[in-house]
Structure 1
Amino acid sequence: MTGVRVTVPASTANLGSGFDALGLALGLHDEVEFRLRESGLAIEVTGQGSTGVPDDETHLVVRAFRAAADRLALDVPGLHLRCRNAIPHARGLGSSSAAVVAGIAAAYALAGHGVDATALQLAAEFEGHADNAAAAMFGGVAVAWTEGDRYRAVRLDPHPALAPVVLVPDQESATRTTRGLLPPTVPHVDAAFAAGRSALAVHALTADPSLLLTALDDRLHEPYRESAWPRTYALVRALREAGVAAAVSGAGPTVLALPEDGKIPEDVDVDGFTPHHVPVDVAGVRVAPLG
């Protein structure tokens, strides 16, 4: 192949108390075309983040592609990259993981391989955790963990009744900033609470969505980050008080809602947020050859 088109989904992570452990792929996609050339690098970007991303070797998709190509001994003297971005940047919807997974999946495909555990390892090394990367790579519900310096994940089938709504504000976030608000330790009682809720979330996401309101309750990270995004946390509380399962999406400031009827109650004030009804993506990253 001389080129591939990669379609990669957004993702939402943490899902309440599943901090760095739970991810869900969303039907909102970036599309990236990779064409091999004799020399040089050309990058075209349209859509989300088109005015703020670099157009050189520091572009995240290129960095991930080069890292995978090096590991696979794939010789790529030149590259033409065309990105059509639909995933909002720096909003807690896995835009960076999508970029990393797109680059890695393209290199693997051009080397004649599908994405696998080694591809996930490389993607997670970029992020420092595997929840978003696993969801973007494999689709559905991702359960991620570490074993020493190895990142691991399993994919689970989501319940077909899940109807995510992401409420996206204009503000941008940085994971490194909000992660800095977390304490080095938490009370044992809160850790036990988180363990129970994250385990319940796996069951709720895959077998019984009626339990999501309880499952997405969190004491592990959300209370510590409220100062960064007070409007986000106010909306999460308002939704939960209205009976809608809700959590901060990733590092925020986007809010993830999982209403049983797929609708946000009219009496919940969503001013300052744009609701997007998006399905769960069950396929993960897709690669097709270019003519």
Structure 2
Amino acid sequence: MTPFEIRVPASSANIGPGFDSMGLALDLYLTVAVYPSDKWQVFQNSPHLPNQTDDEDHYILQMARSVAARWNQELPACRLRIESEIPLARGLGSSASAIVAGIELADQVCVLNLTQEQKLEIGTEIEGHPDNIAPALMGGFIISTVVDGHVDWISLPDPDLEMVLYIPGSDLKTEEARNALPATYTRELAASASAISNVLIASLAAGDYLLAGRMMEHDLFHEPYRASLIPNYESIRDEAKQQGAYGTVISGAGPTMMSFIPKEKGQTIATHFQRFLPDYQVVLLLANHTGSSITHMT
């Protein structure tokens, strides 16, 4: 087997009213270098990865074995060197990135020749929804849903924007963020929330970022219920708006927040927020347009 490297981007889901259906790939990466070996070995080099005591139980390896088993195959032993720039439990799709890495690992070492559609279906089945899986796999701004057991998706035009992320030191478990949501919505609220989401998607497709930013900040599906769980929620939104951001949203289920910024203004706003939020990691990012990739080493 020729050594190869898997690279999977982070992703931000929801983008305000695009609840459980919209996701954007970001240029932070999970990287897995794969080498032939006579036994499984996993080496990790990142503070963003969970503690690992047993190589055989590593989450990416579990995902790869599960995928291989679907085609009645067994993974040959490999040596994995894993690095990650994606903070855990911060709303940046770390679990989706690991799932996609496992799918790509199985596809490569077992020569499954999976299509992108097959990878998306498998990842969605494992994750439970495609909003992070789709952009991690294919890159860009993706709108996706599951209808009759099949994942349908469409890619929006690449956003001509920069993103500033505000990442607090504390995490927020997805289960806690889910439990903050109501069990049901009234018909009137659901209709209004859907209308806002529709206008958001149309404005992004049209490149009207002023309108898109306004819609992002008027979500009715999840942000009003999660705002109290997010440190400095209101102050970050207000300050970002004053500094020239189009709109600011909770990234995924939080606690990270993300502003959409006009091109060339991102560094100025990021520098400002590094002073405004000294206890945060403030990161300036661009969208990733390629999704997961495989590079063979020479």
Alpha-carbon distance, 1:234 to partner: 3.8
Deviations along 1:63-99, one digit per CA (max 9) or x if unpaired, are 2111221123333242321101111111111111111
Query: Partner of 1:258 in structure 2?
Result: 260
Query: Partner of 2:280 in structure 1?
Result: 273
Distance 1:54 1:163, change over 3 A: farther
Query: Partner of 1:222 in structure 2?
Result: 223
1:30 aligns with 2:30: yes
Alpha-carbon distance, 1:181 to partner: 1.2
Distance 1:118 1:83, change over 3 A: same
- Contact persistence 1:18–1:194 (CA under 8 A): no
- Contact persistence 2:49–2:88 (CA under 8 A): no
Query: Partner of 1:286 in structure 2?
Result: 293
Distance 1:56 1:233, change over 3 A: farther
1:73 and 1:205 map into 2 onto residues whose CA distance is 43
Same amino acid, percent of matched pairs? 30
Alpha-carbon distance, 1:250 to partner: 0.3
1:68 and 1:144 map into 2 onto residues whose CA distance is 22
> Please, which moves more after superposition, 11-20 or 165-174?
165-174
Alpha-carbon distance, 1:290 to partner: 3.6
Kindly provide the amino acid, as one letter, of the partner of residue 250 in structure 1.
G
> Please, which moves more after superposition, 70-79 or 245-254?
70-79
> Please, which moves more after superposition, 45-54 or 88-97?
45-54
Query: Partner of 1:143 in structure 2?
Result: 143
The CA RMSD over aligned residues, in Å, is 2.3
Deviations along 1:77-136, one digit per CA (max 9) or x if unpaired, are 423211011111111111111111011012223315254112111111222110111000
Kindly provide the amino acid, as one letter, of the partner of residue 285 in structure 2.
V
- Contact persistence 1:138–1:155 (CA under 8 A): no
Question: What secondary structure, in the 3-state scheme, does the structure 2 residue paired with 1:47 have?
Answer: coil
Question: What secondary structure, in the 3-state scheme, does the structure 2 residue paired with 1:259 have?
Answer: strand
Kindly provide the amino acid, as one letter, of the partner of residue 232 in structure 2.
R
Question: What secondary structure, in the 3-state scheme, does the structure 2 residue paired with 1:253 have?
Answer: coil
Structure 2 segments unaligned to the other structure (5+ residues):
none
1:232 and 1:54 map into 2 onto residues whose CA distance is 36
1:157 and 1:259 map into 2 onto residues whose CA distance is 16
Query: Partner of 2:158 in structure 1?
Result: 158
Distance 1:276 1:230, change over 3 A: closer
- Contact persistence 1:201–1:212 (CA under 8 A): yes
TM-score with structure 1 setting the length:
0.90
* Residues 39-188 of structure 1: pairs in structure 2 closer than 5 A: 40-50=39-49, 52-53=51-52, 55-110=54-109, 111-159=111-159, 161-188=160-187
- Contact persistence 2:243–2:269 (CA under 8 A): no
Structure 1 segments unaligned to the other structure (5+ residues):
none
